[in-house]
Structure 1
Amino acid sequence: MPGRQTNLRIASIYAILTSLVASLVAAATKYLTGMMDASVVVCIQYLICLMTLTPWIVKVGKPGLVSTVPKLHLIRGIAGWACFYTYYLAIGEIALVDASLLRNTAPICVPFFAYLIFGNRIGWLGGLGIVLGFAGVIFILKPEGASISLWHGIGFLSGLTLAISMIYTRELAQTEPSNRILFYYFLTSLALSTPLALINFEGIPIVAWPALLFVGFSIFITMKLYNHAYTHAPANSIAPLTYFGVVFAGILGWLFWDQV
């Protein structure tokens, strides 16, 4: 039992730090989507992340990249890419805190996907928690009858795909080293991002590069923290801590865009 408590404590620290850095990235991305398409931000983000792994790739060579679970890497990569792409699309159109709240419906969705994928049973208390969780999200988003747009739906997709990513990251972390998980995630995401970025590319203003570099390197740090968190504890134990991201996003939205 003491070992488990220590693991959960470490995982919680990593999870909260992940939420903090991810919120800073979200704020930078909202700024960037005013100058370029979200697909361009996503593509450059993953290119920088993959380049950051270059020293490790050179060090381990081909033997260090061989995996016995390529299917899991592919699913995790597609889910992770879809999460960021839909999140960035939503950030450009709705309040930062709303986009963050919708993305952070992931912990509510984790039990549902765990049931579909692995057959993990959802008890009546768990089911009640899911219903109340979604009711709370709807109430916060629409406290006075304000309209919910298509962009809110896209933001919710980021939560669904993040839930899948959480589950498969935990599965991969049982047998795969952190950098190998990141390598296949970045590679898959870059491959998916590039065609969309080329279609929507209209040039990048010089003033945007500092924020782009910040996003790229910060996402790398976020993913390292994220992987470490799910190495130390299962998704359903620490996923609720991602709600710290809503608090951080609310503060940043208030500071920079006067969004309450």
Structure 2
Amino acid sequence: MANSSNDKPLLGMAFAFATTIVGASASAATKYISSEVPLGSIVLIQFVVGLLVLSPWMYRQGLSGLASEHWQRHIIRGLAGFAGFCFFYLALQHIPLVDSSLLRHSAPLFVALVAYLWVGAKVPKSRWLPMIIGFLGIALILRPSSTVNVWHLAGLGSGLSLAISMVGTRLLSHDESSSKILFYYHIIALILSLPLALYTWQGIPAWAWPYLLYNSLSIFVAMWLYTKAYSYAKASVVSPIGYFSVVNAGILGWLIWDHLPDAIAFIGIAVVICAGLITVWQSAREEKQNAKLKARN
């Protein structure tokens, strides 16, 4: 049984914010090598490295410790996570880092629908305000880009996939440890990525390996942080923090590829930050109110 302390929104958002920093740097590393390293190789090595990092935990658990009664949720979460990375890496190859990142982090717009269809969950009305504000910021950032094409749709597909993964992670966190969730995710994603890697395999240049390994380790750390975030807070609380990835990606895109947003895009970035701050304020207020109620009881 996983840790039962599933209602610590501020801690959950702290993990989520750390995820945005690590994830943005991993995305930049992937974009840098994407013209020389096939998508299948990037995905496969990413999950092989993740399993190697998890191997000491797997050894301590033994076969009995790896058993799970929630394999259906693990499969859905694994399929969604794998699809999300494939869509995201395809988008990275063809559109600016900030565009692909903001489309991936359109996930909060889908979370409410996914949660409703999956488990019939309803999102509190107060959560809609930061989601809508975040969406407006994303629209402002995306406006300066070139004509929307199929690669933008791939980026949007990564956002929908991420939303499914977010809800699945939250559901699993009630009964499974973070390490077990990551283990099943890596196993499922590795199985799915192997045929793709074999089909597209080609020699990897020596200069690309440090970036490839950095991406793989960073993705594992980001997924661990992301899983911890959803073990402490609801998807509707944590997911808007993902908007900060757009800001981080914009900064890296400017520093590395000289993709400097214009004035309207900068306004969009400010709006995205406001959406995250509203979420933090709402959650802090709710946490204080809940603490007062518990103290009275």
CA distance in 1, matches of 2:115, 2:178: 22
Give the superposition deviation at 1:134: 4.8
- Residue of structure 2 equivalent to 1:190: 190
Instruction: Please give the residue correspondences for 1:67-146 in structure 2 after superposition, counting only pairs within 5 Å.
Output: 67-121=68-122, 134=135, 136-143=137-144, 146=146
CA distance in 2, matches of 1:147, 1:136: 18
- Residue of structure 2 equivalent to 1:258: 258
TM-score by length of 1: 0.92
CA distance in 2, matches of 1:197, 1:70: 25
Q: Deviations over 1:69-122 (max 9, x none)?
A: 000000000111111111111011100000000001001110111121122346
CA distance in 1, matches of 2:237, 2:175: 19
Q: Deviations over 1:231-257 (max 9, x none)?
A: 110100111001110010000000000
Give the superposition deviation at 1:130: 6.3
Query: What SS is found at the alignment partner of 2:65?
Result: helix
Instruction: Please give the residue correspondences for 1:132-171 in structure 2 after superposition, counting only pairs within 5 Å.
Output: 134=135, 136-143=137-144, 146-171=146-171
Query: What SS is found at the alignment partner of 1:68?
Result: coil
- Residue of structure 1 equivalent to 2:29: 28
Q: 2:101 touches 2:249 (CA, 8 Å); kept in 1?
A: yes
- Residue of structure 1 equivalent to 2:212: 212
Give the superposition deviation at 1:131: 6.6
Between structure 1 and structure 2, the one with the greater Rg is 2
CA distance in 1, matches of 2:6, 2:164: 25
Give the superposition deviation at 1:39: 1.9
CA distance in 1, matches of 2:129, 2:17: 26
- Residue of structure 1 equivalent to 2:202: 202
- Residue of structure 1 equivalent to 2:282: none
User: What runs of 5+ residues in structure 1 fail to find an aligned partner?
Assistant: none
Give the superposition deviation at 1:198: 0.8
- Residue of structure 1 equivalent to 2:246: 246
Q: Deviations over 1:177-224 (max 9, x none)?
A: 111101100000011111111111111111111111111111111111
CA distance in 2, matches of 1:34, 1:191: 24
One-letter code of the match for 1:48?
V
Could you say if the C-alpha distance between residues 92 and 6 of structure 1 is closer, same or farther in structure 2, counting changes exceeding 3 Å?
same
Give the superposition deviation at 1:142: 2.5
- Residue of structure 2 equivalent to 1:229: 229
Name the Cα RMSD after superposition.
Answer: 2.1
One-letter code of the match for 2:167?
I
TM-score by length of 2: 0.81
CA distance in 2, matches of 1:41, 1:129: 34
Q: Deviations over 1:127-154 (max 9, x none)?
A: 787677556534432248x410110000
One-letter code of the match for 2:257?
W
Give the superposition deviation at 1:230: 0.5
- Residue of structure 2 equivalent to 1:37: 38
Q: 2:12 touches 2:228 (CA, 8 Å); kept in 1?
A: yes
Query: What SS is found at the alignment partner of 1:46?
Result: helix
Q: Tell me which moved more, 36-45 or 155-164.
A: 36-45
Could you say if the C-alpha distance between residues 210 and 10 of structure 1 is closer, same or farther in structure 2, counting changes exceeding 3 Å?
same
Give the superposition deviation at 1:168: 0.5
Pair 1:174-2:155 in alignment: no
Could you say if the C-alpha distance between residues 37 and 5 of structure 1 is closer, same or farther in structure 2, counting changes exceeding 3 Å?
closer
Q: 1:22 touches 1:219 (CA, 8 Å); kept in 2?
A: yes
Could you say if the C-alpha distance between residues 64 and 132 of structure 1 is closer, same or farther in structure 2, counting changes exceeding 3 Å?
same
Q: Tell me which moved more, 31-40 or 245-254.
A: 31-40
